[in-house]
Amino acid sequence: MGFFSSIRARSEDTAIDKDKTEAFKQQHRPIQTRQRLPIKLPNANEVGSSAGEEWRAVKGAVKSSGNGKAKKSTLKWHQWLAVFFPCFEWIIGYDWRRNLAWDLLAGCSVGFMVVPQGMSYATLAGVPSVWGLYGAFIPVLMYSVFGSSRQLAVGPVAVTSLLIGNGIKKVVPGSQFITDPNNLDSFQFTVQKRYNRSVTQLAFLVSILYTGIGVLRLGFLIRFLSHPVTTGFTSGAAVIIGMSQFKYILGYNVPRKDTLHEQISVLVEHGNLFNVKEFGMGMSLLAFLICLMVLSKRYPKRLFWLAPLGPMAAAVIGIIVVVVGRFNYLGAPIKVVLNIPKGLPGVTVKDWLPFQYVDTLVPLAFIVMLVDMLESTSIARALARKNDYKISYDREIIGLGVANFFGAAFNSYTTTGSFSRSAVNNASGAKTQLAGVFTALIVMAVLLFLTPVFALVPYNAIGAIIIAGCTTLFEYKVAAQLWRTNFRDFLCWLAACLGVCFLGVELGLGVSIGLSLFLYVLETAFPHLAILGRVDKTDLAASTKQFAGTAKTVPGVLALRLDAPMYFGNVQYLEDKIDSFLEEAELDAREGRAAPLEFLVLDLTPSSHIDSSGCHTIGVELAARLAKKGIQVVLAGPNSKVLRNLERSGVLDEVGREWVFSNVADAVDACAALPKVRVDGAGSSSGSEDGRKPDLELKLGKDAAVKPSV
């Protein structure tokens, strides 16, 4: 009997609580005190399929991420061709009189710059130096046809070369012991051949990933790499690249290591190989290059041409010193490239299949593609903004994919847009992609006629060119700005930089991305809540902490702003914070410092989304629970998406549709217009709806008691 009695008593208590809640809702009705902004509440019968709506929203977002607003229009024949071949956009209306001279100047400037740089970056990637020239020829031509950026200079870059060099040598056995891919013995030749094949397959995989992402309109994926992570990664890579080239400045011939401390250890261990002449020549060329860069930056209008000519000048000076000094090419004191085959690149399609190291090449290809895509699209976007035109991310990605596809077919490794050469291309006045065609023609001329000359480029000149280029990649100014503005972003930058330096390129990038996502989740899991007050003589609501003395709270009303979406990761924290605010308000009321709390206003304006956990928190954990204590939950400023979710979950019915307002000011006005009636936890109440109307009419006039249209 005791058991059934307890059940009966519990059901009676539940019925009493329900009656008290209904009585509370009947007594608390919002009063219209002034003209309110209308808010359209969703009708339960008109609520469509959640899955269908979400899919249509995602589909529209993906479509708009690449080309903006799609408009139906009648295209001319050349416009249809431009959809598949973007070069027709500038070929059809090309202004030969105004643009040809500028494109020729820019193409020649970049061509003189990319020849020594390409040879240098090829050694960094662990392939013969001529591969850098191949990468500055065929891919550049293809990008001029399929690319959408007018000033982007495509070709070999330092960071990609480092990723390839560090990644492939872990795959191909014995490749880590090859120090000079241009001059090999019989055993090294076999190993290098397998290495070159893997590099070609990597370029092929990268081209497939590029093209697939572009066709599927997945360019928005690059947004998940934040600016602090990318600049920190680039800065760390610049340190690794620069340190790896000091062996050429010192005259060493030692294998390259992945991390900074390993590189320093190797240089110290082989101190007996130090070559004074190599060091003197390399440091002189490095100082020469840095001086040209400083002068070009200090006097950009008159001496901008010094920086692009620096690498070619350093290579020519190195050749002259070697020839005039009659140094021994094969040994001490000056080591040169020596072996550069003459002629255009051969076809390497036969090397695409079968994949020998597919389990390692696919993850490496994804990393290379992700870094290259972010670097290239960020440069293209900045150049387009500077020159007042628009680019399509997806078409840009497809252009890079096609360029790498043909590069993989013609003896080239992965290429992308270059920071330094794109800046030179833009500063030299490039108007269209024709500048890239002129760059490719210069590289072709070098391959056909000048390879015997460039075979005499000393390795210390190559090291000086790479180190000088790395000085522009280290983003110390970004780090200083992040330190001043956002310490969380500075931690991401520092983690990316130090991770690359001491953990390796791939692991360092993974750690930095993981830290960035973790800090983002951490920030959304513990969002900021602000107590709002009415600013004197205005209809504005502002934080009482930020505007102390100006924003004042209304007696009996606690208005809170939730500065984050409500989802399963933060609802418990939000509920705990709200409870702490409520406990503090009740303590103040008991001690006579404030009026008893009757309304909890939740400003949902910053909340762009609410999931089922958030709806449960508002409807059950707050509205239903607080109603038993005589506190009405009021919602202000929810967007249409949030309103739909609140409707589907039944929260609007639990809160009361009349208690949903378009802004905080209307919500607080409606709460303040009611007399101070409190239904306490025991269920006792003072006053009734009929008894309150006269007081309201005396205070606000007869129209004040009219139920507002919500």
- Cβ atoms 400, 374 nearer than 8 A: no
Pairing of β 660-661 and β 632-636 = parallel
**Whole-prediction pTM:** 0.75
> If pLDDT is split at 50, 70 and 90, which confidence band does 301 have?
confident
Give the start-to-end residue ranges of the domains of the chain. Answer: 18-57+528-705, 94-475
CA angle 316, 321, 325 (to 5 degrees): 150
Q: What is the pLDDT, as a whole number, of residue 142?
A: 94
CA gap 408, 402 in Å, rounded: 10
Q: What's the pLDDT at 569?
A: 92
pLDDT of residue 259: 87
Helix (H, G, I), strand (E, B) or coil at 339: coil
The amino acid occupying position 546 is Q
Residue 93 has a pLDDT of 80
CA–CA distance, 541 with 291 (Å, rounded to integer): 57
pLDDT tens digits, one per residue of 224-267: 778 888 889 889 989 998 998 898 899 887 777 888 999 899 88
Query: Quick count: other Cβ atoms within 10 Å of Cβ 415?
Result: 31
Residue 530 pairs in a beta bridge with: 561
- H or E segment and range at residue 632: strand 632-636
In this predicted structure, the answer to whether residue 24 has a pLDDT above a threshold of 60 is no
Distance, CA of 517 to CA of 520 (rounded, Å): 5
Of 293, 298, 342, 337, the closest CA to residue 313 belongs to 293
Q: What is the mean pLDDT of the chain?
A: 82
pLDDT at 635: 94
pLDDT, position 77: 62
DSSP state of 410: T
Greatest extent of the chain over all pairs of C-alpha atoms, in Å:
113
Q: Assign 204 a pLDDT band (cuts: 50, 70, 90).
A: very high
CATH superfamily of 18-57+528-705: STAS domain (3.30.750.24)
Distance CA 631, CA 28 (A): 10
Side-chain-side CA neighbours of 225 within 13 Å: the count stands at 24
Query: What is the average per-residue pLDDT within 648-673?
Result: 89
Classify residue 138 by burial, with Cβ atoms within 10 Å: 0-12, 13-18, 19+. Answer: buried
Q: What is the DSSP letter of 619?
A: I
pLDDT of residue 553: 86
Between the alpha carbon of residue 386 and those of residues 375, 376, 379, 390, the distances in Å are: 17, 15, 11, 10
Give residue 631's region: left, alpha or beta (phi > 0; psi -120 to 50): beta
- Picking from 11-25, 185-199, 332-346, 413-427, which range would have the lowest pLDDT averaged per residue? 11-25
How far apart are alpha carbons 640 and 632 in whole angstroms?
22
Band of the pLDDT at 328, cuts 50, 70, 90? low
In percent, the amount of the chain with pLDDT more than 70 equals 82
Instruction: Name beta bridge partners: 43.
Output: none
pLDDT digits over 288-297, tens only? 999 999 998 8
Per-residue pLDDT band at 13 (split at 50, 70, 90): low
Nearest one of 118, 529, 460 to 314, comparing CA atoms: 460
pLDDT in tens, 386-400: 888 888 888 889 999
User: Comparing 263 with 59, which gets the higher pLDDT?
Assistant: 263
pLDDT digits (tens, 9 = 90+) for 334-374: 888 878 899 999 999 999 988 888 888 999 999 999 889 88
Query: SS3 letters for 432-487?
Result: CCHHHHHHHHHHHHHHHHHHHHHCCCEHHHHHHHHHHHHCCCCCHHHHHHHHHHCH
pLDDT at 36: 54
Number of other CB atoms surrounding residue 559 within 10 Å: 26
Q: Which helix (H) or strand (E) holds 651?
A: helix 651-655
